[in-house]
Amino acid sequence: MDAIIIETIVKAALVIAVFSALAGFGTFIERKILAFMQRRLGPMHVGPFGILQIAADGIKLFTKEDIIPQHANKFIFMIAPIITAATAFIALAAVPIFPEFTVFGYTIHPIVADINVGILFILGAMASGLYGPLLAGMAQANKWGIIGSARTAILFMSYEVVTGLSLLAPIMLVGSLSLIDFNAAQTGGVGEWLVWQQPVAFILFIIAGFAETNRTPFDILEHEAEIISGYATEYSGMRWGMFFIGEYANMITISFMASLIFFGGFNEWGILPGGLAILLKVSFFFFLMLWVRASWPHIRPDQLMWLCWKVLMPIAILNVLITGLVMML
């Protein structure tokens, strides 16, 4: 019993340390890739190829003054970023990151908690992360913040139904909510990847995932050209940084989910060992998010609602129905 507790604490600490570092690194990668796609160089001066820019940004964020506006609701204003960052890491708890491996004769499962409703847990935790922008926008006594939180509500109501329904069909096929079971269902190589059986569900999930992580083309919460910075208008320093760590951690989580559910997870991929395979897949999905951000314009909130409720949701329901019929026959 003690061993499990200690192991879990160590794993949780590792996940937080590694993934917040990765989130910081994600901002660097994003700046670089966007720069190359726009024929720029991106950060270049701090460290080789500007890689230490992360450290410089971190120092800047940590030492900046933490401003709380006069008429803001102080308590909510202060905890809102923590909600976003914390839920992003909580969601990661149910994600199996690597295949299990053995160190000193001790088998390690690289997952903090293998709960049998893993997918539900992740979706729930990520969804509650949107309380961060919602509360932050309303607490800061700023009209752009209010618009930002109104848009958060819109976003939340729109994508959530699509995420759930799109994942329902693969869940029916596998018959489990645990990501480990999903992984185990696709052990037979590329041919058994669920994306071949559920291409529609995959596309719907990716679209909803973009909305869930608040990425272009659905970055309506804080779109600078329209609403200054939306929910983050009044934030500065580390509180602002926490929103971003949360956003990037969420991007990583969505990339993990897409790879685990539809693309064979951490099974061996040809000659590639499982750990490397999943790293490649996750990197690809992360890159896809940056790529899309560089390429596509973003859409209006009403278009998002229209898309989610009138297009994607019917398709998702049809997909579930057809999957069910095929399974029964």
Partner 1 sequence: MSLNKFKDRNVGVQNYTLIEHEAFPQTGGEKFARVLKRTIKGELFVGLWVTMRTMILALFNGEIHTVKYPFEKLPISPRYRAIHDMLRLLESGHYRCIGCGLCEKICIADCIKMDTKYDENQRKEVTEYTINFGRCIFCGYCAEVCPELAIVHGGRYETASQQRASFSIFDDMLTPIDALKEQKEYPGFGAVSPNADDNIKKTPLAY
Q: Give the whole-angstrom CA distance, residue 193 versus residue 300.
A: 34
**Residue linked to tokens 């004769």:** 105
Q: Which stretch binds partner 1 (CB under 8 A): 21-29, 80-88, 293-301, 319-327?
A: 293-301
Does 295 contact partner 1 by CB under 8 A?
yes
Q: Give the whole-angstrom CA distance, residue 109 versus residue 233.
A: 41
Rounded to 5°, angle at Cα 326 from 322 and 329:
140
- Shortest Cβ 290–partner 1 spacing (Å): 10
Burial class (CB in 10 A: 0-12, 13-18, 19+), 297: exposed
- Shortest Cβ 326–partner 1 spacing (Å): 24
Q: Which of 12, 16, 22, 44 binds partner 1 (CB under 8 A)?
A: 44
CA distances from 112 to 69, 104, 118, 143 (A): 38, 20, 11, 40
Does 48 contact partner 1 by CB under 8 A?
no
- Shortest Cβ 42–partner 1 spacing (Å): 8
**According to CB under 8 A, which residues from 57 to 86 bind partner 1?**
none
Q: What is the DSSP letter of 192?
A: G
Does 309 contact partner 1 by CB under 8 A?
no
Task: Name the 3-class secondary structure at 71.
Answer: coil
Reported residue count of the chain is: 329
Does 141 contact partner 1 by CB under 8 A?
no
Residue whose CB is less far from partner 1, 71 or 310:
310
Residue whose CB is less far from partner 1, 34 or 113:
34
Q: What is the DSSP letter of 98?
A: S
Q: Which of 38, 63, 70, 102 binds partner 1 (CB under 8 A)?
A: 38
With CB under 8 A as the rule, give the number of residues binding partner 1.
17
Q: Which stretch binds partner 1 (CB under 8 A): 32-40, 66-74, 110-118, 231-239?
A: 32-40
CB 198 within 8 A of CB 264: no
Q: Which stretch binds partner 1 (CB under 8 A): 34-42, 143-151, 173-181, 230-238?
A: 34-42
- Shortest Cβ 204–partner 1 spacing (Å): 13
State the chain's maximal CA–CA distance in angstroms: 64
Q: Give the whole-angstrom CA distance, residue 39 versus residue 37.
A: 6
Q: Which of 40, 60, 74, 143 binds partner 1 (CB under 8 A)?
A: 40
- Shortest Cβ 29–partner 1 spacing (Å): 13
- Shortest Cβ 162–partner 1 spacing (Å): 15
Does 39 contact partner 1 by CB under 8 A?
yes
Task: Name the 3-class secondary structure at 234.
Answer: coil
Does 200 contact partner 1 by CB under 8 A?
no
Angle subtended by helix axes 237-262 and 118-128, to nearest 10: 150
Does 318 contact partner 1 by CB under 8 A?
no
Q: What is the DSSP letter of 263?
A: S
Q: Give the whole-angstrom CA distance, residue 214 versus residue 209.
A: 8
- Shortest Cβ 39–partner 1 spacing (Å): 5
Does 321 contact partner 1 by CB under 8 A?
no
Residue 125 sits at φ, ψ, to 5 deg, of -65, -45
Q: Give the whole-angstrom CA distance, residue 297 versus residue 291.
A: 12
Residues forming contacts to partner 1 in the complex (CB under 8 A) are 33, 36-41, 44, 291-292, 294-296, 306-307, 310-311
